[in-house]
Structures are given as C-alpha cells and as structure tokens.
Amino acid sequence: MSSWKLGASEKRLIPGGPLKGPTPWLIAIMTFVMMLVAAAGLAVSGAAGRLETASADDYVLQLPGGAAQSEELATAARELNGVGRADAVPTETIEQDLARWLGPTAEEAGLPIPAMVEVQLAPGTDPERIEEAIQQDFEDAALTSSQAALGPLIGSLRTLAWLALGLVLLVGLAAGAAVVLATRASLSANKRTIAVMHGMGATDTQVASLFQRRMMVEALSGALLGAGAAGLLLILIAGVGAIGGQWLAGVAPLGLFAILALALLPFIAAFIATAVARGAVMQALRAAP
C-alpha cells in the first residue's frame, strides 16, 4: 500500500485525503509564507556576505585639505608593495557629494576639499604598514577601511536575515498549533470509530498511526501546494530582477545552498506536522477514560 495514498478501508474509518478539508489549505498558506520569508532572509544574508567579501580589501586614503595633491597621493600609494590599485577621486565628485549633503551653502562656506584615493590592497597586506609608509610623505593622510564604513549596513542586513529566520520559526509554531487543533477536532469527530477500534482490540499506537497517515497526506499535499505557489512567485520575481538588472553585481540573490534549503522546507514542514499530530493523538488517547 502506498504511504502517500490512504487505502479505501482507511478512508471509510476516517474520511479525508489530499486537499480535502481546511487543514491542508491552512498548511499550504503557512508554507507559502514561510517559503517567501525564508527566501527573503537567505537573499539578504547572501547580499551581506557578498558585500562584506567585496569590501574586505577596499580602503579610502584621505588627506584633509589636499584636493590639489590627489594625483600625487594616488601615485605614492601605487608605488607601495601590497597596493593593487589606487585611483584618485575627482575633486568635482567630492564637491558634488558635499553639495548633496550640505546644500547650496557648501560652496559659499569655502570648505577645504580633501584628497581622496580609492585603494585596493592585496590579500594579507597590513593596512597599518601602508598608512605609515604614506604618512612619511603626507603626514596628515589616513587610511580607512571600506568594510568598517559599511559595517552598520552589513550588520543591519544580517539582523534582517535573523529576523526572517525568527518569522519562519513563528509561522512554523503557528502551523504546529493549527495541526494540534485540527487533530483534536478530528479525534472528537471520530470518537465512535475510535471506540469501535478499541473494542476490536486495536491499541492506541494503531489508532495513532491511522491519524498520522491521514495527517501526513494532508500536510504533505498542502505543503507542496504552498511551496509550488511560492516557487512560481520567486521565479517570477527573479526573472523581473534579471531583466531589470537589479541583481547585486550580476549574481543571483540565492545560491545553491539556499535553493536546496528552500526545496527541503515543505518536506520538513510536513514531517513536523505529522509528528505533532501523532503526539497530539497519543496524548489525547492516554488522557481518555
């Protein structure tokens, strides 16, 4: 007998099946929500990781009030061992950024424009050594890490990822509570059937197995339905993102590990629902007089 389909005798004892009754539809909705929230969390976590990796060796070399020395500062940086790239930021770009932050008063205030050089160090290079070498010719120069500047943003992204995980767990707990209520309602509706089975010598374990099989069918059918709908929506969103060029650096927001985790999520949800249903049945049967 297939473990996916209920036999005819089982259906006569406890009517039910795939997508029959409210339970599988409730599980489908909750699985749909969990899939979307989990996908968003994994995408945000992946973006944080890529941003952290991309900025690991990026630094900004600054010289207060030294806009006229930008090219000299960049040239001095390029000559140092361990510096892979050093590009001077145009003074016009810095002035535009100041105007964006300070408004029309930026030009009127006559603020000194700093020299800024975007520097990329070779992996393993000590940034303090590079800064000390630069300061021999440019005493006020300072080397700051791009990763440190992006730290608050990366931290916020990781917090959002953990929040998404928490929401997935909360929805899972709500689904478990719904399964318990549905199981108890089914037990109450089938009291006479259970009494007849006990009268014929059936044990609590055999009765629980019958309800477990029914819940497995309902939970798995509902979870796969919700996961399928969520998968189609995610594919649609991914397609729109690819067409619009919105993916970070041309990299898909979800990696292979994330896709595999999402693919396993409906089966995990169905397994948990089945285990919760069996536990609820056994507890109810043991408590019965």
Tell how far CA 61 is from the center of its chain.
34
Percentage of residues in the chain having pLDDT higher than 90:
15
Average pLDDT over residues 150-167: 91
Q: What is d(CA 28, CA 97) in angstroms, rounded to the nearest whole number?
A: 49
Query: What is the distance between the alpha carbons of residues 85 and 100, in angstroms, rounded to a whole number?
Result: 28
Rounded CA-CA distance 64/135 in Å is 13
**CATH 3.30.70.100 in the chain, residue ranges:** 56-149
pLDDT reported for residue 257 = 85
Which range in 47-56, 230-239, 262-271 is most confidently predicted, on average pLDDT? 262-271
Tell me which residue has tokens 């609820």: 280
Q: Which residues of 105-140 are buried (b: 16+ CB within 10 A; e: fewer)?
A: ebeeeeeebbbbbbbebeeebeeeebeebbeeebee
State which of 108-112, 146-150, 232-236 shows the largest mean pLDDT. 232-236
Find where tokens 């309602």 sit.
185
Cα 245 to Cα 72: distance, rounded to the nearest angstrom: 37
Structure pTM?
A: 0.71
pLDDT score of 166 more than 90: yes
Q: Which CATH class is domain 56-149?
A: alpha beta
Give pLDDT, residue 18.
60
Residue range 239-254: average pLDDT?
52
Query: Band of the pLDDT at 34, cuts 50, 70, 90?
Result: very high
Confidence of residue 224 (pLDDT cuts 50, 70, 90): very high
Task: Quote the tokens at residue 26.
Answer: 């409730």
CA gap 279, 173 in Å, rounded = 15
